Chain A
């Protein structure tokens, strides 16, 4: 049931993007009052003026995107409804036998959305851990995860990825820190180097 509703919602991508844009604009609009400005400028062109104009135009454009997105969405919805129930029904996936790791990797390999979310989370944690762990360690961990995730399932060579990740991340850290004098976060390495 939920899946069907989600499929219906997905027929209206422009309405969704327009609505998100409108919501973001509203949040920004409420913040306009928080911007300080000289009292003498209250009726004139202060720091609030330009963002206000931009926000108003953006809101109009967002409404335009929503309105123009409805007819094309309806067409997609009709197309979806026209699909035979057999086509619409999800085909049960063949789950591989084996341990939990294999099952998880199967889900990752067969689902692009899961892969892209793991990828985004990987980048997020790489940046989050950059200061406490240091650029080199955090970078090596990120590279290893991302290499493994991007690699075609039948060509995965985890030991090779581990070596490349460590060599590239530590190599880049040493090059930029000592040869080019960019003070990348040392993290745990400050106790060693």
Chain B
């Protein structure tokens, strides 16, 4: 413990220079901007700034890159709350209660809650990273494809919690997400599927334009129709100004939701291939499921915001665990961070932990500093963000769409990504018109590839035996939990519909 604190102290000492602090704030500003513009994300921000670090020392380069990462993950909440369009896939669930809260004239409160819980989520993830990473990474390494499949099948079943009023519609949308993700190259053997003779479709739909598109086009078209919820001018001038946007009593009341979401976020971060795109939705579903008042979710309550923003930022700490302890990147952002480490001549893994503990703790300290800096930057920016709402919607919405198109294009420098934005947008709009929820689509789409990959790996390992799934204890436990949960949810819906009759 004492050694840990000593290393931490040395880490902070390495970082606290005027140059590094300026770099951190620059990284945060750029990261938050990239996160807030729908279509741009942390991967693009870090990739674009990576060449700048070539001539920097290792400490400066890491404070910059980590500030970009943390800023971009958190920045998505701004557009999610203010215009109902998630800046990145990490903030999809933030729209559910953040936007209704803003529409009630509490945009400042919603942003403050989001910012504070983003910081707390990041710090929770860092604490887990510091104190439990060696143990957790060992457990993650021992995870068999069966165990992984068990976790994934449970995560996928949470679609039913996000289903909303109609279980049938919610499940259908979740399965549409699973189906859309099967378009393109199949995992394991790499054969193209459902390309319908279109070359571009052979590589499948890119993730970010698909997620953002399913929201942005629907919002622009709804605004065109003059839908009340997007065109109403809300008076924010009467909103009470407070430091954090919530009271101590509310904070204590949210502790359960915070810890549940933080654990889900960190856990999802540790497992490669899922990431923040899913963790915010999974935490939202879990908090809703365990809430005493699930019917209030989606009306602008604090619980939903806490769940989403805590989980997506806790995923940052979780994702750093396999990266730093094992050298395994779990998502796009950590892959670029791995490249940055290697450029500096460092190979992450157990040896780095043992041979250069000060460097590792400097990275942890950079994460702590960046998350505190994020609160400062975003809190100072809140009045400015709220002023953005005063821009007439007929000017703001098309400009947002223009930036989304830039974001989609930049994800792989191709027009096909912009078409993806459009196609996903049409689908999102059709879902809204048909009274279908959009969240299950995102969850199904994000989980599909990994779910199929692990399922096929299990079938190959077990020579096509379904019994093998029940012989792996972790997998079996998750399957049982999933079945019980689904039975309860179905029973609840059945009772509700009987009661309504």
Chain A residues within CB distance 8 Å of chain B: 13-14, 16-17, 21, 28, 31, 35-38, 41, 44-51, 54-55, 57-58, 61-62, 64-65, 68, 112-113, 115-116, 118-120, 123-124, 126-127, 130-131, 135, 139, 142-143, 146-147, 149-152, 164, 168-169, 172, 176, 180-185
Choose from A55, A58, A116, A130 the contact partner of B225 (Cβ within 8 Å): A116
B179: nearest chain-A partner, CB-CB: A54
Q: Which of chain B's residues have a CB closer than 8 A to the CB of A139?
A: 402, 405
Q: What are the 9 tightest A-B residue pairs by CB atom distance, in nearest-first order?
A: A150-B394, A47-B186, A146-B398, A119-B224, A112-B225, A17-B434, A45-B459, A61-B172, A50-B452
12 additional contacts (CB under 8 A) given A142-B398, A172-B403? A13-B434, A38-B189, A45-B455, A49-B456, A50-B452, A51-B179, A51-B194, A57-B175, A124-B422, A146-B401, A150-B394, A152-B394
Cβ-defined contact, A172 with B406, below 8 A:
yes
Q: Which of chain B's residues have a CB closer than 8 A to the CB of A21?
A: 172, 176
Cβ-defined contact, B169 with A65, below 8 A:
yes
Q: Which of chain A's residues have a CB closer than 8 A to the CB of B410?
A: 176, 182
Q: Which of the 9-residue segments B295-303, B330-338, B412-420 touches chain A?
A: B412-420
A172-B464 Cα distance, complex, nearest whole Å = 53
Choose from A14, A45, A149, A164 the contact partner of B224 (Cβ within 8 Å): A149
Cβ-defined contact, B409 with A47, below 8 A:
no
Cβ-defined contact, A62 with B172, below 8 A:
yes
Q: Which of chain A's residues have a CB closer than 8 A to the CB of B402?
A: 139, 142-143, 168-169, 172
- Interface size class of chain B, counting residues whose CB lies under 8 Å from the partner chain: 35 or more
A119-B452 Cα distance, complex, nearest whole Å = 37
A135-B399 Cα distance, complex, nearest whole Å = 13
A16-B435 Cα distance, complex, nearest whole Å = 12
Q: Which of chain A's residues have a CB closer than 8 A to the CB of B182?
A: 50-51, 54
- A160 to chain B minimum Cβ distance, whole angstroms, is 9
Kindly name the residue among B193, B223, B393 whose own CB sees the greatest number of chain A CB atoms within 10 A: B193
- B215 to chain A minimum Cβ distance, whole angstroms, is 14
Kindly state whether residue B2 has any CB partner on chain A within 8 Å: no
Q: Which of chain B's residues have a CB closer than 8 A to the CB of A13?
A: 434-435
Kindly state whether residue B220 has any CB partner on chain A within 8 Å: yes
| A119-B224, A123-B422 known; A143-B398 Cβ under 8 A | yes
| A17-B436, A54-B178, A127-B418 known; A35-B398 Cβ under 8 A | no
Kindly state whether residue B168 has any CB partner on chain A within 8 Å: yes
A98-B488 Cα distance, complex, nearest whole Å = 63
A165-B171 Cα distance, complex, nearest whole Å = 41
Task: Kindly supply a per-residue 1/0 record for chain B positions 156-180, scoring 1 wherever the CB is within 8 Å of any chain A CB and 0 otherwise.
Answer: 0000000000101101100110110
Kindly state whether residue B446 has any CB partner on chain A within 8 Å: no
Kindly state whether residue B5 has any CB partner on chain A within 8 Å: no
Cβ-defined contact, A44 with B186, below 8 A:
no
Cβ-defined contact, A58 with B403, below 8 A:
no
Q: Which of chain A's residues have a CB closer than 8 A to the CB of B127?
A: none
Q: Which of chain A's residues have a CB closer than 8 A to the CB of B403?
A: 172
Q: Which of chain B's residues have a CB closer than 8 A to the CB of A35?
A: 186, 191-194
Q: Which of chain A's residues have a CB closer than 8 A to the CB of B429?
A: 120
Kindly state whether residue B425 has any CB partner on chain A within 8 Å: yes
Cβ-defined contact, A44 with B224, below 8 A:
no
Cβ-defined contact, A131 with B415, below 8 A:
yes
A118-B186 Cα distance, complex, nearest whole Å = 37
Choose from B176, B226, B406, B415 the contact partner of A58 (Cβ within 8 Å): B176
* 5 CB-based A-B contacts, threshold 8 Å: A35-B191, A45-B459, A55-B179, A119-B221, A183-B413
Q: Which of chain A's residues have a CB closer than 8 A to the CB of B169?
A: 14, 65
A162-B179 Cα distance, complex, nearest whole Å = 42
Task: Kindly supply a per-residue 1/0 record for chain B positions 317-335, scoring 1 wherever the CB is within 8 Å of any chain A CB and 0 otherwise.
Answer: 0000000000000000000
Q: Which of chain B's residues have a CB closer than 8 A to the CB of A46?
A: 189
| A45-B459, A150-B393 known; A127-B419 Cβ under 8 A | yes
Kindly state whether residue B426 has any CB partner on chain A within 8 Å: yes
Cβ-defined contact, A184 with B409, below 8 A:
yes
Q: Which of chain B's residues have a CB closer than 8 A to the CB of A149?
A: 224, 394
Interface residues of B in 418-452 (CB under 8 A from A): 418-419, 422, 425-426, 429, 434-436, 451-452
Kindly name the residue among A21, A38, A49, A119 whose own CB sees the greatest number of chain B CB atoms within 10 A: A119
Kindly state whether residue B48 has any CB partner on chain A within 8 Å: yes
A146-B191 Cα distance, complex, nearest whole Å = 41
- A107 to chain B minimum Cβ distance, whole angstroms, is 14
A36-B194 Cα distance, complex, nearest whole Å = 11
A62-B455 Cα distance, complex, nearest whole Å = 25
Q: Which of chain A's residues have a CB closer than 8 A to the CB of B435?
A: 13-14
Kindly state whether residue B73 has any CB partner on chain A within 8 Å: no
Cβ-defined contact, B189 with A37, below 8 A:
yes
- B197 to chain A minimum Cβ distance, whole angstroms, is 9
A65-B165 Cα distance, complex, nearest whole Å = 13
Cβ-defined contact, B172 with A65, below 8 A:
yes
Kindly state whether residue B270 has any CB partner on chain A within 8 Å: no
Cβ-defined contact, A45 with B418, below 8 A:
no
Cβ-defined contact, A150 with B397, below 8 A:
yes
Q: Which of chain A's residues have a CB closer than 8 A to the CB of B172?
A: 21, 58, 61-62, 65
Q: Which of chain B's residues have a CB closer than 8 A to the CB of A31?
A: 193-194, 196
Q: Which of chain A's residues have a CB closer than 8 A to the CB of B401?
A: 123, 146
Q: Which of chain B's residues have a CB closer than 8 A to the CB of A183?
A: 413
A62-B410 Cα distance, complex, nearest whole Å = 36
B456: nearest chain-A partner, CB-CB: A45
A142-B194 Cα distance, complex, nearest whole Å = 32
Cβ-defined contact, B223 with A50, below 8 A:
no
Kindly name the residue among B172, B188, B223, B419 whose own CB sees the greatest number of chain A CB atoms within 10 A: B172
Cβ-defined contact, A112 with B226, below 8 A:
yes
Q: Which of chain A's residues have a CB closer than 8 A to the CB of B186?
A: 35, 47
Kindly state whether residue B380 has any CB partner on chain A within 8 Å: no
A184-B186 Cα distance, complex, nearest whole Å = 30
A176: nearest chain-B partner, CB-CB: B406
Q: Which of chain B's residues have a CB closer than 8 A to the CB of A37?
A: 189, 191
A49-B459 Cα distance, complex, nearest whole Å = 11
| A49-B456, A182-B406 known; A28-B194 Cβ under 8 A | yes
Cβ-defined contact, A147 with B398, below 8 A:
yes
A65-B192 Cα distance, complex, nearest whole Å = 31
Cβ-defined contact, A65 with B168, below 8 A:
yes
Kindly state whether residue B57 has any CB partner on chain A within 8 Å: no
Q: Which of chain A's residues have a CB closer than 8 A to the CB of B356?
A: none
